[in-house]
Amino acid sequence: MKPKLRLTQVHEVQDLGPHMRRIVLRGDDLKDFPIGQESAHVKVIVPQPGETKPKLAFSFGAKKWMRSYTVRAFDAEQYRLTIDFSVNNHRGVVADWAVQAKPGDYLGIGGPGPVKHTDLAADWHLIVGDFSALPALAATVEKLPNNAKGYVLAQVPTVEDQQHINVPPHLHFQWIVNPDVLRNELLQHVQQIDWMDGQPAIFIAGEASQVKAIHGYVESQPGYQKDKTYASAYWQA
Protein backbone atom coordinates (compact mmCIF):
# COMPACT_ATOMS: atom_id res chain seq x y z
CA MET A 1 0.00 0.00 0.00
CA LYS A 2 1.45 3.33 -1.08
CA PRO A 3 1.67 6.20 1.43
CA LYS A 4 -1.09 8.78 1.31
CA LEU A 5 -0.30 11.95 -0.62
CA ARG A 6 -1.28 15.34 0.76
CA LEU A 7 -1.13 18.92 -0.51
CA THR A 8 0.11 21.52 1.97
CA GLN A 9 1.15 25.17 1.98
CA VAL A 10 3.99 26.93 3.75
CA HIS A 11 2.69 28.70 6.84
CA GLU A 12 5.92 29.86 8.48
CA VAL A 13 9.66 29.92 7.73
CA GLN A 14 12.37 30.17 10.41
CA ASP A 15 16.14 29.92 10.08
CA LEU A 16 17.50 27.86 12.98
CA GLY A 17 21.09 28.56 11.97
CA PRO A 18 23.18 29.15 8.86
CA HIS A 19 22.48 25.65 7.51
CA MET A 20 19.02 24.67 8.81
CA ARG A 21 15.66 26.13 7.87
CA ARG A 22 12.44 25.20 9.67
CA ILE A 23 9.30 25.23 7.55
CA VAL A 24 5.85 24.85 9.09
CA LEU A 25 3.21 23.52 6.71
CA ARG A 26 -0.56 23.77 6.97
CA GLY A 27 -3.50 22.40 5.02
CA ASP A 28 -6.81 20.59 5.29
CA ASP A 29 -5.13 17.47 3.90
CA LEU A 30 -3.30 17.19 7.23
CA LYS A 31 -6.54 16.60 9.15
CA ASP A 32 -5.96 12.85 9.12
CA PHE A 33 -2.16 12.96 9.46
CA PRO A 34 -1.34 10.45 12.23
CA ILE A 35 -0.10 11.74 15.59
CA GLY A 36 3.02 10.48 17.33
CA GLN A 37 5.07 10.23 14.13
CA GLU A 38 7.81 12.69 15.10
CA SER A 39 11.19 11.35 13.87
CA ALA A 40 9.52 9.30 11.12
CA HIS A 41 10.14 10.22 7.49
CA VAL A 42 7.82 11.68 4.90
CA LYS A 43 8.28 12.12 1.18
CA VAL A 44 8.51 15.79 0.27
CA ILE A 45 7.39 16.67 -3.27
CA VAL A 46 8.26 20.07 -4.75
CA PRO A 47 6.59 21.72 -7.76
CA GLN A 48 8.24 21.15 -11.10
CA PRO A 49 9.75 24.16 -12.94
CA GLY A 50 7.10 26.58 -14.16
CA GLU A 51 4.42 25.17 -11.84
CA THR A 52 3.16 26.36 -8.48
CA LYS A 53 1.73 23.06 -7.21
CA PRO A 54 3.50 19.70 -7.05
CA LYS A 55 2.28 16.62 -8.90
CA LEU A 56 1.01 14.27 -6.20
CA ALA A 57 2.13 10.94 -7.63
CA PHE A 58 4.63 8.16 -7.03
CA SER A 59 5.23 7.58 -10.75
CA PHE A 60 8.79 7.22 -12.01
CA GLY A 61 8.92 10.72 -13.46
CA ALA A 62 7.56 12.30 -10.29
CA LYS A 63 10.26 10.78 -8.09
CA LYS A 64 12.80 13.24 -9.48
CA TRP A 65 11.02 15.94 -7.48
CA MET A 66 10.72 13.90 -4.29
CA ARG A 67 13.04 13.39 -1.31
CA SER A 68 12.77 11.94 2.21
CA TYR A 69 12.65 14.28 5.21
CA THR A 70 11.88 13.97 8.92
CA VAL A 71 8.71 14.83 10.79
CA ARG A 72 10.08 17.25 13.37
CA ALA A 73 6.71 18.08 14.94
CA PHE A 74 3.00 17.85 14.23
CA ASP A 75 0.18 19.89 15.76
CA ALA A 76 -3.02 17.90 15.19
CA GLU A 77 -5.27 20.71 16.41
CA GLN A 78 -3.86 23.34 14.05
CA TYR A 79 -2.99 20.90 11.23
CA ARG A 80 0.62 22.09 11.32
CA LEU A 81 3.47 19.87 10.17
CA THR A 82 7.03 21.01 10.93
CA ILE A 83 10.00 19.90 8.80
CA ASP A 84 13.61 21.07 9.15
CA PHE A 85 15.60 21.37 5.91
CA SER A 86 19.37 21.37 5.58
CA VAL A 87 20.25 24.36 3.38
CA ASN A 88 23.20 26.40 2.12
CA ASN A 89 25.58 23.42 2.24
CA HIS A 90 24.48 21.41 -0.81
CA ARG A 91 22.34 21.66 -3.94
CA GLY A 92 19.25 19.60 -4.70
CA VAL A 93 15.69 20.04 -5.91
CA VAL A 94 14.24 20.15 -2.39
CA ALA A 95 17.11 22.03 -0.74
CA ASP A 96 16.92 24.67 -3.48
CA TRP A 97 13.15 24.91 -2.98
CA ALA A 98 13.58 25.33 0.79
CA VAL A 99 16.02 28.21 0.36
CA GLN A 100 13.40 30.14 -1.62
CA ALA A 101 10.30 28.97 0.27
CA LYS A 102 7.85 31.59 1.52
CA PRO A 103 4.38 31.53 3.10
CA GLY A 104 1.76 30.39 0.61
CA ASP A 105 4.07 28.15 -1.42
CA TYR A 106 2.78 24.63 -2.08
CA LEU A 107 4.49 21.40 -1.05
CA GLY A 108 3.40 17.79 -1.42
CA ILE A 109 3.75 15.32 1.45
CA GLY A 110 3.67 11.53 1.22
CA GLY A 111 3.52 9.26 4.25
CA PRO A 112 4.57 9.16 7.02
CA GLY A 113 6.69 6.04 7.30
CA PRO A 114 7.27 4.20 10.58
CA VAL A 115 9.07 5.57 13.64
CA LYS A 116 12.46 3.86 13.92
CA HIS A 117 13.56 4.33 17.56
CA THR A 118 10.61 2.74 19.34
CA ASP A 119 11.97 1.22 22.56
CA LEU A 120 11.62 4.39 24.60
CA ALA A 121 11.84 2.43 27.87
CA ALA A 122 15.16 0.75 27.01
CA ASP A 123 17.81 0.29 29.70
CA TRP A 124 19.69 3.16 28.08
CA HIS A 125 19.99 4.95 24.75
CA LEU A 126 22.79 5.70 22.32
CA ILE A 127 21.72 8.27 19.71
CA VAL A 128 24.29 9.37 17.15
CA GLY A 129 23.84 11.53 14.08
CA ASP A 130 25.57 13.96 11.76
CA PHE A 131 23.98 17.20 10.57
CA SER A 132 21.84 15.48 7.94
CA ALA A 133 20.25 13.44 10.74
CA LEU A 134 19.84 16.30 13.23
CA PRO A 135 16.05 16.67 12.77
CA ALA A 136 15.52 12.94 13.34
CA LEU A 137 17.96 12.91 16.24
CA ALA A 138 16.28 15.89 17.90
CA ALA A 139 12.77 14.51 17.44
CA THR A 140 13.89 11.14 18.83
CA VAL A 141 15.48 12.72 21.91
CA GLU A 142 12.37 14.80 22.63
CA LYS A 143 10.17 11.67 22.59
CA LEU A 144 12.19 9.95 25.32
CA PRO A 145 10.73 9.77 28.85
CA ASN A 146 12.07 12.05 31.56
CA ASN A 147 13.96 9.18 33.24
CA ALA A 148 15.78 8.11 30.07
CA LYS A 149 19.55 7.76 30.34
CA GLY A 150 22.37 7.30 27.88
CA TYR A 151 24.31 9.34 25.35
CA VAL A 152 23.52 11.64 22.45
CA LEU A 153 26.22 12.71 20.01
CA ALA A 154 25.10 15.37 17.53
CA GLN A 155 27.47 16.66 14.86
CA VAL A 156 27.14 20.13 13.32
CA PRO A 157 29.39 22.01 10.87
CA THR A 158 29.61 25.21 12.97
CA VAL A 159 28.85 26.37 16.50
CA GLU A 160 26.08 28.54 15.05
CA ASP A 161 24.29 25.37 13.87
CA GLN A 162 23.67 24.18 17.41
CA GLN A 163 20.01 24.52 18.33
CA HIS A 164 17.74 24.16 21.32
CA ILE A 165 16.59 20.59 21.99
CA ASN A 166 14.57 19.45 25.00
CA VAL A 167 16.84 16.81 26.52
CA PRO A 168 15.85 14.53 29.46
CA PRO A 169 18.01 15.41 32.50
CA HIS A 170 19.83 12.05 32.75
CA LEU A 171 20.82 11.94 29.09
CA HIS A 172 24.40 13.03 28.30
CA PHE A 173 24.09 15.32 25.26
CA GLN A 174 27.19 16.46 23.39
CA TRP A 175 27.52 18.76 20.41
CA ILE A 176 30.43 17.87 18.11
CA VAL A 177 31.51 20.73 15.85
CA ASN A 178 33.14 19.22 12.77
CA PRO A 179 33.32 21.22 9.52
CA ASP A 180 34.96 18.28 7.73
CA VAL A 181 32.04 15.96 6.95
CA LEU A 182 34.44 13.29 5.66
CA ARG A 183 36.23 12.95 9.01
CA ASN A 184 34.47 10.41 11.23
CA GLU A 185 34.65 12.25 14.54
CA LEU A 186 31.40 10.62 15.65
CA LEU A 187 33.10 7.21 15.73
CA GLN A 188 35.93 8.60 17.85
CA HIS A 189 33.45 9.96 20.38
CA VAL A 190 31.39 6.76 20.44
CA GLN A 191 34.56 4.81 21.23
CA GLN A 192 35.22 7.09 24.21
CA ILE A 193 31.89 6.70 26.02
CA ASP A 194 31.53 4.53 29.12
CA TRP A 195 29.33 1.65 28.01
CA MET A 196 26.42 1.28 30.43
CA ASP A 197 24.97 -1.93 31.86
CA GLY A 198 21.92 -3.44 30.20
CA GLN A 199 20.69 -3.42 26.62
CA PRO A 200 20.80 -0.09 24.79
CA ALA A 201 18.38 1.13 22.15
CA ILE A 202 20.65 2.51 19.43
CA PHE A 203 20.02 5.12 16.74
CA ILE A 204 22.78 5.88 14.19
CA ALA A 205 22.27 8.01 11.08
CA GLY A 206 24.48 9.99 8.74
CA GLU A 207 27.03 9.40 5.98
CA ALA A 208 27.02 5.79 4.75
CA SER A 209 30.61 4.72 5.47
CA GLN A 210 30.63 6.45 8.84
CA VAL A 211 27.37 4.82 9.91
CA LYS A 212 28.80 1.43 8.88
CA ALA A 213 31.94 2.01 10.95
CA ILE A 214 30.00 3.14 14.03
CA HIS A 215 27.59 0.23 13.72
CA GLY A 216 30.52 -2.16 13.40
CA TYR A 217 31.90 -0.88 16.68
CA VAL A 218 28.69 -0.89 18.73
CA GLU A 219 27.64 -4.38 17.64
CA SER A 220 30.77 -5.73 19.33
CA GLN A 221 29.85 -4.15 22.66
CA PRO A 222 28.09 -5.93 25.56
CA GLY A 223 24.30 -5.75 25.54
CA TYR A 224 24.02 -5.02 21.81
CA GLN A 225 20.77 -6.23 20.28
CA LYS A 226 20.13 -6.06 16.55
CA ASP A 227 16.38 -5.61 17.04
CA LYS A 228 17.03 -2.58 19.26
CA THR A 229 19.30 -0.89 16.69
CA TYR A 230 18.51 1.49 13.84
CA ALA A 231 21.46 2.32 11.58
CA SER A 232 20.72 4.25 8.39
CA ALA A 233 22.78 5.94 5.69
CA TYR A 234 21.20 9.31 4.98
CA TRP A 235 23.79 10.18 2.32
CA GLN A 236 26.98 8.90 0.71
CA ALA A 237 30.27 10.75 0.26
Domain identity same for 95 and 149 = no
Domain identity same for 229 and 136 = yes
Considering Cα of 104, then 86, then 66, then 202, what sign does the dihedral take? negative
CATH number of the domain at 106, please. 2.40.30.10
Strands (E), the chain: 5-17, 20-26, 41-45, 66-70, 73-75, 80-86, 106-110, 124-129, 150-156, 171-177, 200-207, 229-235
Task: Give the pLDDT score at 214.
Answer: 98
Are the C-beta atoms of residues 20 and 134 closer than 8 Å to each other?
A: yes
> What is the domain range of residue 140?
124-235
Question: Which H/E stretch holds residue 192?
Answer: helix 185-192
Residue 221 or 181, more confident: 221
CATH number of the domain at 210, please. 3.40.50.80
Of 144, 138, 142, residue with least CA distance to 118: 144
What DSSP designation does 197 have?
A: S
Q: Mean pLDDT, to the nearest integer, of 29-34?
A: 97
Domain identity same for 208 and 142 = yes
For residue 4, the SS3 value is coil
Percentage of residues in the chain with pLDDT exceeding 70?
99
Chosen domain end from 86, 110, 134: 110
Taking only the tens place, the pLDDT of each residue in 62-100 is: 889 999 999 999 999 999 999 999 998 778 899 999 999
Taking only the tens place, the pLDDT of each residue in 4-17 is: 999 999 999 999 99
Rounded CA gap, 175 and 201, in Å?
20
Task: Supply the Cα-derived Rg of the chain in whole angstroms.
Answer: 18
Domain identity same for 83 and 130 = no
Task: Give the pLDDT score at 134.
Answer: 98
Considering Cα of 173, then 174, then 180, then 183, what sign does the dihedral take? negative
Are the C-beta atoms of residues 41 and 48 closer than 8 Å to each other?
A: no
Domain identity same for 82 and 181 = no
The structural domain count of the chain equals 2
Domain identity same for 167 and 73 = no
A 10 A CB-CB count for 150 gives 23
